[in-house]
Structure 1
Amino acid sequence: MSGSPPAVTGATPAAGWRSLGRAWEVWLGVGLAAAVAATFLGGLLLELENRTIDLRFKSRGALPLARDIVLVVVDDPDLEKLGTWPWPREQHARLARRLKEAGARVVGYDIYFNEPSRYNGPDDTQDDDAFAKAIAETGNVLLPVVFERKQVWDNDLMDTVDRPVAERPIAELRQVAAGEGFIDMEFQKMNPDGVLRYVLLQNSSEGETFFPFGLQLAAKFLGQPIATGPAGVRLGGRVLPTYGLPQWGGGEPVRGFQINYANQTGFFEEVPYFNVLVGSFPAGLFQGKAVMVGTRSKGTSEDRKFCPFGVLAGMEVHAHLFQTIVSGRTFARLGPAWFALALLVLAGVVAAVLALWTGWMGNLAVLAVFVAWVVGADLAFRREVVLEVVPVLILLPVQWALTRLIQQFVTLRQRNRDLALLNADLQRKNRELSILNEISKAIVFMDNLVKTLDAILRRAVEVLGAERGALLMLDERYENLVEEAVVVGPEGKAEVPAALKDMAARVVEQGSSLLISEVGKDETYAAMARAAEPVRSVICLPLMVHQTPIGVMTILNKQAGTFDADDLKLADIMANQAAIVIEQARLYNLATIDGLTGLIVHRHFQSKIEEEFRRAKRYDKPLSIIMTDIDHFKKFNDTWGHQTGDLVLREVAKCVRMSIRDTDVAARYGGEEFAVILPETDVEGAAQFAERLRQKVESAVCQGPKGPLSVTISLGVSSVPHNSVETTQEMIKAADEALYAAKHSGRNRFQVAPPAEKKE
């Protein structure tokens, strides 16, 4: 039978995704989203959302100037010239004829005509007749309708009820008009804060359907009919999009059409009423355009409306509605129910991110979603797409804060549980620690790693009462088990059986320990029990450093009985200790060896040169050093890039390593500069070495991005006693000066530092 202790490993991505369905983070996110969605659907967030839409209007700025409509405005100078308001309707008739002559395609009067004219007396109808005649002759005049709430009799209820009633133009005028459109705006349900953003596209009175004044003007201008159906109001072949505005306290949403305001007041072309009446306007101004006639003078009406850009005259609001429809720049917007569903999906995605990434990456991802939504909403608005912002601004920060707070609480609770388990396990650990202390006595950090590993293995075999053991290490790339392994047995070192190598490879691959108490009963390894050196019981453990296997420790044949779970735990401790020693050796290597070139680093070089210099002085032996620099190395980096520069550095370092003796020391001194210490080598020997190294580098093949690269080096040589120096700094300086002399002499050569006169 075989077994292994439970291992603590990180969840795989697939397992992480599968566990999301059970993650409390997801349910919390969905619950919060449902609460925000309910608040949104209840209309509580509509006012805040409308204010963000106003900000988006201002962020977007003005649209291109409208060319399809001209406003004829009654202002204070007109009242001074034409008299007090109201004017005779015969004057409006003259204006209609003037606009017809100027080529206006359609004319809309944003002026009430719901009562007979009294200009020439209560019984005089000539004024209305004159205006009606002009309307009939013009054939393209629209008149306004106003809805007022009145007490009317309901035949079905047999009682009076409060209903909106259409106040229409007088019969003489509406019979000859091209159409009617209502000019009053709904505020209580659609625009409760008084800022006019949405309008009704239809209203009914006494069984008749009416459409907004701006829509009627657009329909006549485009020559397209208005129709109603299940999908809403259609203009020609397109459905005008409406948005179901959620109502506070519940109730059926009110569907409104959102006006795409183009700018603040004064956006449209305007002409004073008097100027049109007397023909004082540019030729072609009205040709083929829609014309809206209305008042803006304080002496006529106080028809002022608040909009996202500020205060507008009522006729300007109708003009913006007209321009929104004619230009086709109508807003697209998800319905409240669809957005609520999208909010649930967004919360689920954010919850998954917070559950899978509990650190700063998750926080950064949520922040990115938050910023992307806000910025995206602003950019989408410029493309006539309205994204809800307020629900997301509420949901994401609250969801992030609550999730992280609960995660911290869960983590703290788990840590408390772990501490309780650890405290309960202390007595069992005491025995293991005492044994570990015994094992630690056999472990002394030394330069010879093989000797250290041999000491560890011998102590492990001794403590576990085993017959023999083996340590197999992975190569430096951590891919293959090294053939040369530390093996301890009754007769010292021996060969590692092939079957044992297979077992070790399996343990490395799985990353977990293997215990086979009775090998003869194991189907996979039963043959090992019948070998020349039979294996009766075995423990095989991976040596792990930061969750990465670096080798395998195998303990064979317990002298008294077979290995059990307690032996496996103890062996795990020994394996961990061995891994620590190996990690120390690796760290020592990292601290002293340059990763790019494989040569020792500058700091280690300084300690080595000091050591060799003292030895040379003490025993009166020669010592030489060589400083070398790659010629034109900066050009390699500038021309081919730093990767090619690194390639050149590695190739030169390779030449240096292949040229030195075991007793020599080679270092990467800094950048593209190398140094070589030659113990017991006089100046002649150093010069010969320098020339050999120069030739070796010159003949080396260094493949660049577009073919072989020509690489040369310059070298400087200093030596004692050739150079009378008293310190290593002076010796290095002499070699460095010789190096620069070689460079100034043409490069690709070596230069020996000239002997200096001895100081008296």
Structure 2
Amino acid sequence: MEESNYESTMNILTQFQNLQQSGMLSSVENLKKENTDLIRIVNDISHLISLTQVDSMIDFLCSRFLEYFIPDKLVFLFQPPRKKHLRQYVYRRLVKTDENISTDCFSYIKEYFDQNLTQEQSGDVHLFSEIKDKLPQEIVDETITDINPLFVIPLIAIGGTYGIVFITNKINDSEYTDSQISYISRIFSILSITMQNGLHYESSITDAKTGLYTNDFFFQRLNSALSSIKRYNQSAGVLILDIDFFKKFNDTWGHLLGDKVLISIANTLKKTLRNEDCIARFGGEEFSVLLSQCTQDSVFKVAERIRKAIEKMVIYENNTPLKVTVSIGGVIIDHHEFLEPRQIFKKADQALYYSKEHGRNQSTIFKLGLLDLAKMRNNDFDFLEEE
């Protein structure tokens, strides 16, 4: 019996050695690795196509890169539809920075890919060294040298190249493996489509001049917030901002400078508020803000922070410094199942009217009282028309 077991063991060892010598075991291991890589890319692509916001797409890619490899620099440049400005995301070691890349850099590289590639090649990974000589030397010296990209990836739509991505060497200076390059190519070929869809969606819900949300989208978000308030007994706040004497400003300085004021206020609002807050341009010189998880005191503090930030803004016209102020009205929303967006907005508008009637450049926050709520419950909206 022992001799039989010994012979059996030796046969197994011989077969194992034969498999090793034939390369079959190595092939099996490679297949396992390829299968793991395939599962990873399928899972990542599935998650990527589920995202609708461009910022979320880029955040997701950075999180994946952080797990798989870390480039020293990662740069996204793209041109949103209907927008003149270039949208930029610059990362160093996958940490976002405030750096900006020359728009000329984007223009020249876009022109190169528009002339040499088709939409089917969107997301392809190119060695930057292969196109470096095709660019003006000053662009390479002034902009590209600081980035020092290893790869450049075009994002191409029907209308041509709308985005450029730079990826540098890894922070440990090791080379990218074939599987990593394959991953980059596959994920960016999908990103080129999802980002294009995301940009068009953002374009449909944002104001072309300021980049803020439209009032239609604002009411959609307010409806969603009301649903959460009812379900989870939460609270929220709505603010309305109106630029003081804006008609007089336009009549004095012209509508082009008036547009500059609107854009400056929009940028100030974005910097002052949280990412989860919804900011919209509601009318010509009116803006609205939806704040989540807040109290009457915190809503007032936010309103005052906004008001003071805008008061500090300076817009120049031929070296002449100009300033504007805003009046703000707001309302705090508690848990009441019969609230509707237009009711809430009207009450915030009353608070705005109070601020304007009492001197402007101030904030007023109302809280819906019991009488207001009773009238809402009974569909009696006369109080909404009171001044």
Give your verdict on TM over 0.5. Answer: yes
Partner of 1:450: 58
Instruction: Indicate how the Cα distance of structure 1 residues 616 and 703 shifts in structure 2: closer, same or farther if over 3 A, else same.
Output: same
The answer as to 2:347 corresponding to 1:742 is no
* Aligned partner of residue 716 in structure 1, secondary structure: strand
Equivalent residue for 2:200, pick from 565, 582, 587: 587
Alignment gaps of 5+ in structure 1? 1-437, 462-466, 487-492, 494-503, 525-537
For 1:713 and 1:480, the matched residues in 2 are separated by 30
Instruction: Work out the CA distance in 1 between the residues paired with 2:72 and 2:349.
Output: 50
CA distance, structure 2, for counterparts of residue 579 and residue 471 of structure 1? 20
In structure 2, distance between residues paired with 1:647 and 1:450: 29
Q: Distance in 2 between matches of 1:601 and 1:556?
A: 43
Q: Name the stretch that deviates more: 473-482 or 709-718.
A: 473-482
Supply the distance in 2 between the matched residues of 1:480 and 1:625 (Cα, whole angstroms).
Answer: 30
- Counterpart-to-counterpart distance in 2, 1:515 and 1:693: 44
Matched AA of 1:718: V
| Structure with a larger share of its residues in helix | 2
Shift of 1:637: 1.9
Q: For residue 635 of structure 1, report the CA deviation from its aligned partner.
A: 1.6
| Counterpart check, 1:759 vs 2:374 | yes
- Mapping for residues 381-400 of structure 1, pairs under 5 Å: none
1:716 aligns with 2:332: no
AA matched with 2:269: V
Corresponding residue number in structure 2 for 1:399: none
Paired residue secondary structure (2:281):
strand
What amino acid is aligned across from residue 196 of structure 2 in structure 1? E
Mapped contact 1:630–1:713 kept (Cα < 8 A): yes
Q: Residues 4-38 of structure 1, C-alpha deviation per residue, up to 9 Å, x if partnerless?
A: xxxxxxxxxxxxxxxxxxxxxxxxxxxxxxxxxxx
Summarize deviations over 1:381-403 as a string: whole Å, max 9, x none: xxxxxxxxxxxxxxxxxxxxxxx
Q: Distance in 2 between matches of 1:697 and 1:678?
A: 18
- Equivalent AA in structure 2 for residue 589 of structure 1: E
SS, match of residue 759 in structure 1? helix
Residue matched to 1:72: none
The one-character-per-residue Cα deviations of 1:590-616 (angstroms, maximum 9, x if unpaired) are 223333323222122111111222222
Whole-angstrom distance in 1 between the partners of 2:228 and 2:125: 53
Distance 2:109 2:321 in 1: 44
Within 2, Cα distance between the matches of 1:578 and 1:687? Answer: 41
- Separation in 2 of the partners of 1:482 and 1:610? 35
Indicate how the Cα distance of structure 1 residues 543 and 485 shifts in structure 2: closer, same or farther if over 3 A, else same: farther
Cα distance change of structure 1 residues 552 and 730 upon mapping to structure 2, 3 Å threshold: closer
Kept after mapping to 2: 8 A contact 1:702/1:708: yes
1:452-481 residue CA offsets vs partner (Å, 9 max, x unmatched): 6579999xx9xxxxx999995433565988
Q: 1:544 to 1:606 in 2, by over 3 A?
A: same
Secondary structure of 1:753's counterpart equals strand
Which amino acid in the other structure matches residue 255 of structure 2? H
Q: Percent identity?
A: 26
Q: Summarize deviations over 1:192-216 as a string: whole Å, max 9, x none.
A: xxxxxxxxxxxxxxxxxxxxxxxxx
TM-score, normalised relative to structure 2: 0.56
Aligned match of 1:532:
none
**Higher radius of gyration, 1 or 2:** 1
Please tell me the root mean square deviation across aligned C-alpha atoms, in Å. Answer: 4.7
The answer to whether structure 1 residue 632 and structure 2 residue 245 are counterparts is yes
Residue equivalent to 1:475 = 77
Match of 1:612 in 2: 225
Q: 1:572 to 1:637 in 2, by over 3 A?
A: same
Question: Is the 2:333–2:367 contact (alpha carbons within 8 Å) kept by the matching residues of 1?
Answer: no
Change (3 A) 1:556 1:656: closer
Q: Is residue 701 of structure 1 aligned with residue 314 of structure 2?
A: yes
Structure 2 counterparts to residues 435-584 of structure 1, below 5 A: 443-446=48-51, 447=53, 448-450=56-58, 453=61, 472-476=74-78, 482-484=90-92, 510-511=112-113, 512=116, 541-545=153-157, 546-548=159-161, 550-552=163-165, 556-558=176-178, 576-584=189-197
The answer for the alignment partner of 2:287 in structure 1 is: 674
Match of 1:474, SS?
strand
State the SS of the aligned residue for 1:627: strand
CA distance in 2, matches of 1:642, 1:626: 25
In the alignment, is the contact (CA less than 8 A) between 1:597 and 1:668 conserved in 2? Answer: yes
Deviation (angstroms), 1:690: 2.1
User: Equivalent of 2:235, from 601, 622, 628?
Assistant: 622
Alpha-carbon spacing, 1:697–1:725, altered in 2? closer, same or farther (3 Å): farther
Q: Among 267, 273, 277, which residue is 1:660 paired with?
A: 273
CA separation of 1:641/1:456 partners in 2, compared to 1, >3 Å: closer, same or farther? same
Higher-RCO chain (CA-CA 8 Å, sequence separation at least 6): 2
- Segments of structure 2 that go 5 or more residues without pairing to the other structure are 1-41, 79-84, 96-105, 118-123, 134-149, 168-174, 376-387
Tell me: CA distance 1:727–1:552, structure 2 relative to 1, closer, same or farther (3 Å): closer
